[in-house]
Structure 1
Amino acid sequence: MSDVKSAPHIESTTLADGVTIRINDHVYIAPEHLGEPYYVGRIMEFCTSHKSKGLQVRLAWFNRPKDVINRNLADRCLLVATMHSDINLVSSIRGKCVVTHKHYIPKDQLEDYRKKENHFYYNQLYDRYIQRVYDVVPCEIVQNVPTDILEALKERYQFIIVEQGKASDLTVARRICCICQEWCSSTASVKCAACHKSYHMACLKPPLARKPPKGFAWQCALCTRQEVLASSPSDSDMSNQNDTNKNTPKKRQIRTTRSQLPKSQAQPQQQIITSTSLTSTIKPKASHSKKMSSQKIRMTNMWPFRYFGVNTNMGDILDVDDRIYPRAKSRIGPKYQANVLDWPTITNSTLSPVSETNSLSSNKNNESKKNEKKGKSQRSSSKRSIEVNPSTTSLVDECRSPEQFIVTSVRGTEDTVTCIYRPDILSDEQLDDYMNQVKKLNNVSLASHSSDLMDRALQELEQSQYHTDIAFEKMARLDQDDFNYITDWSKQEIYAFEQSIREHGHDLNYAKKSI
């Protein structure tokens, strides 16, 4: 057990050079080897230990891309966050620095930010157990989630962690089904190529079994009807257009997809979408940049991150005690385990006399083939054992009788439990007096401390309804033959028991049949 204890009463301390450090400050740590750059970490809490003299601090590490991605980047200010922490001495801190998420740095000011000394930024997180890099997304720009989930995320966490390429699906406008008015995920919904409205696949009539394959688009019934009405001319126009359309070839009526729409129709829709997305993403930057400057970071268990990727259940977000760390896909299923069918239980009633003889003969043939493949040493040892006890072959054959297929009760369950003694019926003094009287009996040649004698005394007490006089009279009439388990085994019985253990393992049901 670690001797390091948290010190919540300590919120700040002063270094040897006079710099004051506080919780959630980003600091430099002296490297282990000379010539390496300083390590960068965030102060999570201050700690104390009776083994070390100085004050200690728990740091959340930031790694450089070359340490986790094995690739040298020209940007020296870029870091990769982690959810790994260590205990270090305060004396190993070499100074303070500034680490900011890339979202809170305006794009036109990124170059000026990189030119500042002791300033770093990050937008990804590395998990050392899964050995994978994730994207870090601020909760302020998350929109495409249920309302209660979004409130829980913004209340408890500052950032969410998602797989690379999955952040765009969370930052778009919230998708709501036009039929049930509920939030719909991308996996269980379809989007109309004309009106760009979302529908649950189960809410449609008839419901969609699966999403359209790649390269195909889906169109709702209303847009399809409007397209048909717009393409079909009126009755007055039909008479005027008959003469003009005689020499012109008939055009086939096709359904236009999003990629087939004219540029004049596609551009206004794209402008509307981009304008709404820009307004929804630009507004949070102006308001939440002030919060980051005041260092009020929302955290849970001293971490501002929470995994919200493809392996997350939406309902688990509402649980405060749910794990916040990245998780991998469960390795349970047909890709990792073999699907074995349930074997039918063979009982004695299902076996005919012919099948019984065939099974016995097949067992003997299989065993003879296995014995031929064994080494000479095993053959010689088996021959010696058979020569010593030739009469035990009949006992082994009896063990292979069809009775072995009868389903018996499992040991250790309620079917095999026998009540010997129930406490809290007699007092300790009454029980001690009864046991002392039983130990003084001379009708059974058992030691006074024998467990067989004590168990039988308690069992007789249970059967006598805990009347000590009646139980003592029964114990006085017992003799050596009443203890069935105290017997001397013959050589044949010992050999049959050992042979049963060799063939069937430690299943005493087979040993009972062979002895």
Structure 2
Amino acid sequence: MATHVVLKSGERVKVNDHVYCSPSWSVRDGTPYSVARIMEFLPPEGASKGKGKGKEIYTRVRLAWYYRPSDVSDRPVADSRLLLAAIYSEVCDINQLRARCHVIHRDKITDLAGWKKRPDRFYFNRLFDPYIKKEFEVIQATDVRNLPDHIRQVLTSRYEYVVAEKDVVPDLTDTLRLCGTCTEWCANPDTVQCDRCKKFFHMGCVQPPLLAKPSRGYGWTCAPCSKRHEEEVDSHEVRHPTPVTKPKSNAPAPRGRGRPRKDRTLAEKEENVNIKYFKMWPFRYFGQYTVAEDTLDPDDLIFPRAATRVGPKYQVSVPPAWAPTPTLDVEERGDDATVEVLSVINALTEEEVSELEEWKTALTRRQDLLCSVDWLTEATRRFSQAYLANRGWSTVDMSVPTRQEKWKKTETRYTDREWSAEEIAAFEDGILAHGAELRAVRDEVGTRTMFEVVRFYGHWKNSKLKEENAHIKEFGALPKEDEAPPLEDTLSSDDEGSVIRELTKANSSCGACRTRESTTWWKAPKGLATDILCDNCGMNWRKYADLNVRPVREDVTPNGKTKGAEKREGTPLNGPSAKRLKTSMASTITPPPNIPAAPQLRCLACQKNGPMGKVLKCHQCQFRIHAGSCGIIVDKSAVESWMCDLCQNEKTMEASLNTECLLCPKRKSRKKTSLQGADSFLRASKPTEGQGWAHVLCSVFIPEISFTDVSRLRLVEGISTIPRQRWASRCTLCGEVSGAVIRCSDCVREYHTSCAWKNGHKFGFEIQPVRNHRRDTIVTTFKGETGSMVPIVCCQEHENSKRDLYDICETDETGETALQVYCRTYKQAPITQAHGLLRKARRLDQILNAPSDIPSNPEAERHCDLCDTHYSPYFYPISSLSERWQCHKCHWERRGKIAGAEDWNH
């Protein structure tokens, strides 16, 4: 085995050294370096071993990975030097090793603050298992004391650390526990402790033996202690025992916050401390599900373990042998009726296979389909079905893209439908803006599901690789891997592909710290203001996954000027300018390249950024909102010139110029609403059926309101059907009586919808499961969860509520927001049953409690005798003796002709 290997950076590394590992920038898609430990160096795959000492060629390396906390969870971790160990290894190319670093356990560091101040220093105290998705504590093997001597000696001689659950660590680090009866070691699972004398006993050594441990909250006492307690009770000399102090544990004491003395020699010793490794691993699992004696076996598995799937929860309930088995007409599993045959090529003869190949090529004239995996799989399946049904090859037809599967009730496509040119253009634009973040790309496409986008991404990437390979064959091959550049010219070689070489202008800045001066410019990850990082920020991101991002104001234009702000004469806009650098220094500094950043807008409903087009900005009032949360449908060419409904109404005057919400209370001090509220979601308003206005938020969260067109959230209907108690109740936030109120979902407080939004109450939608599905219950599906979708508004006092709410702007796999799904399912007015005037007349009849002469069915017998229409707000009888009617329009036209023009105009 090799003693050491020289990296391209000039550093020498050996086995058990810690290194940064990363492929090229394009392959890892901008993620930071990975930290790993070298387990062994390996020759090329398939090469023979044993060329002699010092003559081996090593091109691969086996690495034991470390995880960052951000890799396994979404919890924010302020310490960028903290890692998670793992019992997981992988073989990588040796060219992926970048540089050397140092990783040790937390308990071996005396000055943690000084350790983290030094570059390339990391530490760990926990382990993450990627298979069972669980974290474990890591302690030193010498701290384990509650073990027999022969097991403890083997454990400490082989391994440096022990992996266990957090609840098991106090038991492992406690003093040796011996049974009070047999004086043998008490293992934790089969041990019970006396609550009075604090001695430990085997559950089988107690008389009578204990079948189970006491329940949580209950204690157990041994027989001598129980007898002593009974004697004290009988003698009436019961005294409250003095509280027994917990014996001092031998666990490692927690470290204080004092500053230890800095000792450089001690720090160097900590870096080079000797760590014991057994079969290339420094730790093993010794937790709740480990048998202590298994440690003596050198071939025992060292990986973390979980609870076994044994017990009634995971086992089937088998009826007794004497019970008669019910005879059900169910096919036996594993039979031909329950197995779908995908191919019978192995049962065909050579003549049949050759004949089958001829028929396969005759099914299509497209050469690309003959190489398509989906098409070939489906063709093989259909040929196999024809063979099993004794049908000829000529009966197979591939023109139908759907098929009937045995396990599904409906037909499904065996391949995705063809992508249009517009969809491909939107997909490539999304890849250009978001990279491999396919959820954001799916939002850009809008017409495809997440599964289709993922499958198309694989085909699209293969086509790009095909074009690159064809270009390489035509114009020359890439340099070979063995032609490595010299070590002293690592930066200029840039095998990582993340150094920016072509520089244009000096008006861009670092995407994190906003500096404009750097000796080297690095490529930046997605999501920053610019696509470049300075030398300091670039290395901090690659090594420590840490970026001190300076916020960027949204009202700053790319040329550096602020919108709406004019620099007065003699007054600096941004403060005093820094002194110019010397000419010698300025000549060595490279200006950053001019890389335009994708514009991002912040939605006023969810306060999240989004690309232009998904988040729209009003051209007149600067109001910003997600298009799906306000019922906005805009062409891509009209995104920049889009105007909100209120601003548009100022020009068209289709509705009232008084834009106050009809569902909110009337304020005493009235101001022009169209000039205010552009920085709030309450700016989003929709016209009503009476040419008034109502907030989108009020219309959605008041249950009696509906929309004529839910795709655009207009027109607002049903304001007259709101119960009287909603208008008469007093708002607990503003104290006003006017306006329609809603009730909190967790208490009895009532308030206006707009008042709740202004006071920071929680708005969202909850999917409530439906057990007994009734006809009047409408069920919908959102993000894989099926049930009844209910709008929820909670007070600030209920922030710790266990409700799982979906935000207003949260989207599902199809790109629809939660507000869109709710309105589409529950807020659509019954426009197919009657027109708008008739629906309004019915609502007025319900309010007045008057007997309605309007037929409930449009096809009823009552109709106008003059124009023969079935639709009218009211039918007037022509005579009291005959059942002849006339509609509202004909009645008043006839009355106007009879009474004269003056009476008609009146």
Q: Of the candidates 340, 361, 374, which is equivalent to residue 318 of structure 2? A: 340
Q: Unpaired runs of 5+ in structure 1?
A: 1-7, 234-251, 283-288, 347-361, 371-515
Contact 2:232-2:238 within 8 A present in 1 as well:
no
With over 3 angstroms needed to count, the CA separation of the structure-2 counterparts of 1:152 and 1:342, relative to structure 1, is farther
What amino acid is the match of 1:71?
R
Does the residue aligned with 1:179 lie in a helix, a strand or coil?
Answer: coil
User: Corresponding residue for 1:158?
Assistant: 160
Matched, 1:95 2:107: no
Q: TM-score, normalised by structure 1?
A: 0.52
User: Corresponding residue for 1:277?
Assistant: 250
C-alpha distance in structure 2 between counterparts of 1:83 and 1:156, whole Å: 16
With over 3 angstroms needed to count, the CA separation of the structure-2 counterparts of 1:159 and 1:214, relative to structure 1, is same
C-alpha distance in structure 2 between counterparts of 1:119 and 1:147, whole Å: 36
C-alpha distance in structure 1 between counterparts of 2:289 and 2:149, whole Å: 20
Matched, 1:45 2:37: no
With over 3 angstroms needed to count, the CA separation of the structure-2 counterparts of 1:98 and 1:210, relative to structure 1, is same
User: Corresponding residue for 1:15?
Assistant: 7
Does the residue aligned with 1:194 lie in a helix, a strand or coil?
Answer: coil
Q: TM-score, normalised by structure 2?
A: 0.31
Contact 2:8-2:98 within 8 A present in 1 as well:
no
User: Corresponding residue for 1:465?
Assistant: none
Deviations 1:390-417 (A, max 9, x none): xxxxxxxxxxxxxxxxxxxxxxxxxxxx
With over 3 angstroms needed to count, the CA separation of the structure-2 counterparts of 1:209 and 1:58, relative to structure 1, is closer
With over 3 angstroms needed to count, the CA separation of the structure-2 counterparts of 1:318 and 1:37, relative to structure 1, is same
C-alpha distance in structure 1 between counterparts of 2:320 and 2:234, whole Å: 62
**Residue 342 of structure 1: CA displacement?**
5.9
Q: Of the candidates 311, 316, 321, which is equivalent to residue 299 of structure 2? A: 321
User: Corresponding residue for 1:29?
Assistant: 21
User: Corresponding residue for 2:66?
Assistant: 62
User: Corresponding residue for 1:297?
Assistant: 275
Q: Unpaired runs of 5+ in structure 2?
A: 48-56, 256-266, 332-906
Q: Of the candidates 91, 102, 109, which is equivalent to residue 105 of structure 1? A: 109
With over 3 angstroms needed to count, the CA separation of the structure-2 counterparts of 1:163 and 1:277, relative to structure 1, is closer
With over 3 angstroms needed to count, the CA separation of the structure-2 counterparts of 1:203 and 1:330, relative to structure 1, is closer
**Residue 28 of structure 1: CA displacement?**
0.9
What amino acid is the match of 1:49?
P
Does the residue aligned with 1:82 lie in a helix, a strand or coil?
Answer: strand
**Residue 294 of structure 1: CA displacement?**
5.0
With over 3 angstroms needed to count, the CA separation of the structure-2 counterparts of 1:225 and 1:293, relative to structure 1, is farther
Does the residue aligned with 2:20 lie in a helix, a strand or coil?
Answer: strand
Contact 1:55-1:89 within 8 A present in 2 as well:
yes
With over 3 angstroms needed to count, the CA separation of the structure-2 counterparts of 1:84 and 1:166, relative to structure 1, is same
Q: Of the candidates 194, 213, 216, which is equivalent to residue 215 of structure 2? A: 213
Deviations 1:99-128 (A, max 9, x none): 11112224xx22222222211111111121
**Residue 164 of structure 1: CA displacement?**
3.3
What amino acid is the match of 1:277?
N
Contact 1:44-1:58 within 8 A present in 2 as well:
yes
Deviations 1:243-295 (A, max 9, x none): xxxxxxxxx66685xxxx54xx54xx34xx22x5368999xxxxxx9997654
Matched, 1:176 2:149: no
Alignment of 1:262-273 (within 5 A): 262=242, 265-266=243-244, 269-270=245-246, 273=247
Matched, 1:309 2:313: no
C-alpha distance in structure 2 between counterparts of 1:279 and 1:75, whole Å: 23
User: Corresponding residue for 1:73?
Assistant: 77
Contact 2:41-2:58 within 8 A present in 1 as well:
no
Higher relative CO (Cα under 8 Å, sequence separation at least 6) belongs to 1
Matched, 1:195 2:197: yes
C-alpha distance in structure 2 between counterparts of 1:191 and 1:290, whole Å: 46
Contact 1:307-1:324 within 8 A present in 2 as well:
yes
C-alpha distance in structure 1 between counterparts of 2:233 and 2:165, whole Å: 45
Alignment of 1:375-454 (within 5 A): none
With over 3 angstroms needed to count, the CA separation of the structure-2 counterparts of 1:128 and 1:345, relative to structure 1, is same
What amino acid is the match of 2:295?
I
**Residue 39 of structure 1: CA displacement?**
1.1
Deviates more, 1:140-149 or 1:175-184: 140-149
User: Corresponding residue for 1:461?
Assistant: none
Does the residue aligned with 1:112 lie in a helix, a strand or coil?
Answer: helix
Deviations 1:323-350 (A, max 9, x none): 111233333443223132464699xxxx
**Residue 161 of structure 1: CA displacement?**
1.8
Deviates more, 1:219-228 or 1:74-83: 219-228
Does the residue aligned with 2:284 lie in a helix, a strand or coil?
Answer: coil
With over 3 angstroms needed to count, the CA separation of the structure-2 counterparts of 1:98 and 1:290, relative to structure 1, is closer
With over 3 angstroms needed to count, the CA separation of the structure-2 counterparts of 1:328 and 1:210, relative to structure 1, is closer
Contact 2:39-2:280 within 8 A present in 1 as well:
yes
**Higher share of residues assigned helix:** 1
